[in-house]
């Protein structure tokens, strides 16, 4: 792993994930989490400020990248809810079947190399009746923006830790074994359109 990925990128991502429009999205989805929660790609812990602590039993904070893990551990240390860090990839989830009430994934499905395997693993960890809460950026519906996403993506992926711009989030969720109950999709304000088409919603395991 290069010095950029280990020491610089985590801070760049932390800043990029903390814009006001993104924080507003977190404020809409994260408070819906309840019980034992698995957060995929915990990153620097930006969702922590948005959980409704009274509803949370425990958070499993999954984060595989060493540079990000350092920020994750720091955020977890100051949290008001019990947190266990899982230093592993979502594709290799180690939690037993039917062990969590809720899965939260924000701005991470773009980066996980094998999104379908990760979603299938999360689906297996969910208790019957459990929910997946998601807020992700991905493929835009407008032809000009979609073309720009395809053009920019190869360079973007290298600079942004493997982040894809063109992922079809609803299709990924379905292919990973989820049925979407609620979906809002729109361009985040004050955000470049190629990176800002956002899918926020709730799904359950099929
Ligand atoms: C753009 S950041 C988002 C972080 C956080 N979810 C947020 O909303 O601020 C993407 C995160 O996915 C993590 N990640 C990368 N590969 C992953 C994998 N295979 N499984 C789970 N998370 C992964 C990265 O280390 C990074 O923390």
In three state form, how does the secondary structure of 82-112 look? CEEEECCCHHHCCCCCCCEEEEEEECCCCCC
Burial 72-104 (b: 16+ CB within 10 A, else e): bbebbeebebebebbeebbbebebeeeebbbbb
Q: Token digits for 141? A: 């519906």
Q: What's the topology of domain 3-205?
A: Rossmann fold (3.40.50)
Residue 31 CB–ligand 1 contact under 6 Å:
no
Q: What's the pLDDT at 70?
A: 95
User: Cα of 179 to ligand 1 centre, how many Å?
Assistant: 23
User: Cα of 106 to ligand 1 centre, how many Å?
Assistant: 8
Name the residue ranges covered by the structural domains of the chain: 3-205
Q: Token digits for 108? A: 């991470």
Residue 140 CB–ligand 1 contact under 6 Å:
no
- Which residues does the chain have with pLDDT short of 50? none
Q: Token digits for 89? A: 């990839």
Cα 160 to chain centroid distance, Å, stands at 14
pLDDT in tens, 43-78: 999 999 999 999 999 999 999 999 999 999 999 998
Residue 156 CA to residue 183 CA, distance in Å, equals: 26
Q: What's the pLDDT at 2?
A: 86
Residue 25 CB–ligand 1 contact under 6 Å:
no
* The model's pTM: 0.97
């Amino acid at each position: 792993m290069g010095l950029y990925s280990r020491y610089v990128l985590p801070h760049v991502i932390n800043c990029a994930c903390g814009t006001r429009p993104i924080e507003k999205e977190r404020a809409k989805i994260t408070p819906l989490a309840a019980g034992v929660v698995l957060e995929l790609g915990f990153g620097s812990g930006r969702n922590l400020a948005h959980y409704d602590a009274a509803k949370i039993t425990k958070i499993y904070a999954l984060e595989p990248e060493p540079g990000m893990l350092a920020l994750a551990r720091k955020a977890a240390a100051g949290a008001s809810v019990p947190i266990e860090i899982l230093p592993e990839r979502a594709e290799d989830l180690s939690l037993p079947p039917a062990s969590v009430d809720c899965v939260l994934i924000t701005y991470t499905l773009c980066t996980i190399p094998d999104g379908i395997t990760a979603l299938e693993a999360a689906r297996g960890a969910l208790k019957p009746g459990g929910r997946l809460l998601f807020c992700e950026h991905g493929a835009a519906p407008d032809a000009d923006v979609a073309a720009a996403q395809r053009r920019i993506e190869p360079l973007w992926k290298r600079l942004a830790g493997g982040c894809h711009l063109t992922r079809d989030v609803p299709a990924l969720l379905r292919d990973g074994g989820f049925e979407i109950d609620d979906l809002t999709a729109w361009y985040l304000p004050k955000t470049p359109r190629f990176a800002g088409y956002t899918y926020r919603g709730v799904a359950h395991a099929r």
